[in-house]
């Protein structure tokens, strides 16, 4: 049980770059994405350990069925992430968050805010699918540039 | 015989901040003059199930640096896990962890003592907790890997002692954590991530003495040093006296934790962990 009140090392969790992506190769951008790195003190958990993700871009909340957590090529909507019990996110492993957006995000700087609700259930092989444990709010943000 | 090991937990900033490959952490441990290296599950290829080839590589690297493996620690609340799945599921999980510890050539398989689960008190959690552990003891004995139960939270030293005295098996041992004896100071209050609130403490030193006959593994958590190389947040002299006076074998697993965001993240974790090794060697007779 670590001392203190923070469960993560904040520096470097979010990068500073957003990339527009043409995921279906039809010549038009349809998503944008940015990286997120696992820097939790006890790092290895199934994705469902993160009980909820709220994502805001430039102050606007993104619908959780229009954004995806992509880990080792596996796309999981933020809406369904709490159901994932057997895909582990490893220590300092990079994942990406993809957001659906026709033509991608406009060039320039954008404010990215993520709120992750972490379960205080202490078992890295089981997920609190009953939502019986308290959650720890993790708020992280970054100014990102579209490239 | 008393042995000292360095837990990879102590060196996590090498991973977080500098993306060092794991073998550089092993090398840092060897360079500190530690005979043992202690693992937490974050540095083991164990999920969803163990990768035996990768475990072989980890062992080979550890051996290359002249180190032996002390404990393997899993972040595992078996009562909570049973609440979400079943007791049998958790017994199976513990058995798999024992096989991983054996495959790693570790001395101990360590899990935390967590006795409260949703809607249940610590007292209510005691019997089902012990029941799951005792179901696993035959395998622990067969593999010759003692299970060792870590406790750092208020109220748990008494429960851990009760368990060790009742079960009376050399395959169910205790891991008292210095954290249970930590003194609240202005710079580092008694707050923990999982509880998010202040806790009472420290526990009476007598409970540390009483636990030693059942404790093969001890978590020497250390947080910050003063200008004399002493650690003022724990009653180090008292704890080390107890260890020195004990006739039993003990493994001291160093958990330097001053690197966390709330304490001294700016300090070099290798330098500070070396101070931990020096401190324990200085006190050990």
Structural domain harbouring B274: 2-283
Residue with tokens 């019990």: A85
For A24-73, what is each residue's pLDDT tens digit? 999 999 999 999 999 999 999 999 999 999 999 999 999 999 999 999 99
Q: Which segments in chain B show pLDDT lower than 70?
A: 195-198
Structural domain harbouring A32: 17-146
CB contact (8 A) between residue A44 and residue B41: yes
% of chain A surpassing 70 pLDDT: 99
B22 touching chain A per CB within 8 A: no
pLDDT score for B192:
74
* pTM, rounded to two decimals: 0.95
Cα B235 from Cα B184, distance rounded (Å): 11
Specify the higher pLDDT residue, B181 or A5.
B181
Report yes or no: A140 and A112 within 8 Å, Cβ to Cβ.
Answer: no
pLDDT score for B241:
98
% of chain A surpassing 90 pLDDT: 95
Residue A4 lies in a domain: no
CB contact (8 A) between residue B188 and residue A8: no
A133 touching chain B per CB within 8 A: yes
pLDDT score for A92:
98
Of the candidates B252, B265, B111, the residue with the CA atom closest to the CA atom of residue A4: B265
A111 touching chain B per CB within 8 A: no
Residues of B202-235 as b/e, b for ≥16 C-beta within 10 angstroms?
A: bbeeebbbbbbebbbbbbbbbbbbeeeeebebbb
Residue A9 lies in a domain: no
Helix (H) or strand (E) holding B38, with range, is strand B36-40
B258 touching chain A per CB within 8 A: no
For A63-75, what is each residue's pLDDT tens digit? 999 999 999 999 9
Residue A115 lies in a domain: yes
- Name the residue facing A42 among B15, B75, B188 (closest C-beta): B75
pLDDT score for B269:
98
Domain count along chain A = 1
CB contact (8 A) between residue B262 and residue A1: no
Query: With 80 as the cut, is the pLDDT of residue A14 above it?
Result: yes
Cα B248 from Cα B217, distance rounded (Å): 11
For B9-51, what is each residue's pLDDT tens digit? 999 999 999 999 999 999 999 999 999 999 999 999 999 999 9
Domain count along chain B = 1
pLDDT score for B149:
98
CB contact (8 A) between residue B193 and residue A5: yes
pLDDT score for B197:
61
Residue A8 lies in a domain: no
- Identify the CATH number of the domain in which residue B217 sits: 3.20.20.150
Phi then psi for residue A114, to 5 deg, are: -125, 130
């Amino acid at each position: 049980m670590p001392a203190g009140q923070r469960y993560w090392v904040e520096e470097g969790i979010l990068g500073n770059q957003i990339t527009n992506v043409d995921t279906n190769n039809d010549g038009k951008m349809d998503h944008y994405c940015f990286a997120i790195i696992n820097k939790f003190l006890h790092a290895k958990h199934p994705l469902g350990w993160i009980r909820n993700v709220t994502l805001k871009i430039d102050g606007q909340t993104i619908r959780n069925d229009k954004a995806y957590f992509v880990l080792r090529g596996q796309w999981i909507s933020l809406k369904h992430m709490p159901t994932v019990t057997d895909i582990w996110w490893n220590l300092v492993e990079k994942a990406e968050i993809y957001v659906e957006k026709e033509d991608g995000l406009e060039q320039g700087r954008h404010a990215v805010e993520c709120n992750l609700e972490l379960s205080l259930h202490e078992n890295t092989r089981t997920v609190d699918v009953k939502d019986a444990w308290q959650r720890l709010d993790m708020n992280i943000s970054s100014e990102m540039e579209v490239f | 015989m008393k042995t000292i090991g360095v837990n990879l937990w102590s060196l996590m900033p090498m991973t977080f901040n500098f993306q060092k490959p794991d073998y550089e952490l092993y090398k840092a441990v060897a360079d500190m003059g530690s005979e043992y290296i202690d693992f937490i599950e974050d540095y083991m290829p164990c999920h969803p199930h163990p990768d035996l080839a990768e475990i072989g590589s980890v062992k080979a690297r550890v051996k290359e640096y002249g180190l032996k493996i002390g404990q393997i620690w899993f972040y595992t609340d078996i009562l909570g896990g049973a609440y979400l799945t079943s007791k049998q599921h958790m017994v199976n999980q513990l058995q798999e962890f024992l096989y991983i510890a054996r495959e790693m050539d570790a001395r101990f398989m360590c899990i935390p003592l967590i006795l409260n689960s949703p809607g249940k008190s610590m007292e209510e959690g005691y019997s089902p907790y012990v029941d799951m552990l005792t179901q696993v003891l035959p395998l622990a004995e067969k593999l010759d890997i003692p299970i060792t139960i870590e406790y750092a939270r208020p109220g748990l030293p008494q429960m851990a002692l009760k368990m060790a005295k009742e079960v009376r098996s050399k395959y169910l041992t205790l891991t008292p954590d210095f954290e249970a004896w930590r003194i609240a100071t202005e710079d580092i209050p008694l707050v923990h991530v999982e509880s998010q609130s202040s806790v009472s403490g420290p526990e009476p030193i007598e409970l540390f003495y009483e636990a030693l006959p059942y404790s093969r593994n001890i978590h020497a958590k250390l947080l910050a040093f003063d200008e004399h190389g002493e650690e003022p947040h724990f009653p180090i002299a008292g704890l080390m006296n107890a260890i020195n006076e004990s006739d039993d074998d003990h493994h001291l697993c160093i958990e330097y934790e001053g690197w966390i965001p709330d304490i001294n993240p700016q300090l070099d974790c290798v330098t500070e962990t070396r101070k931990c090794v020096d401190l324990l060697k200085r006190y050990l007779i």
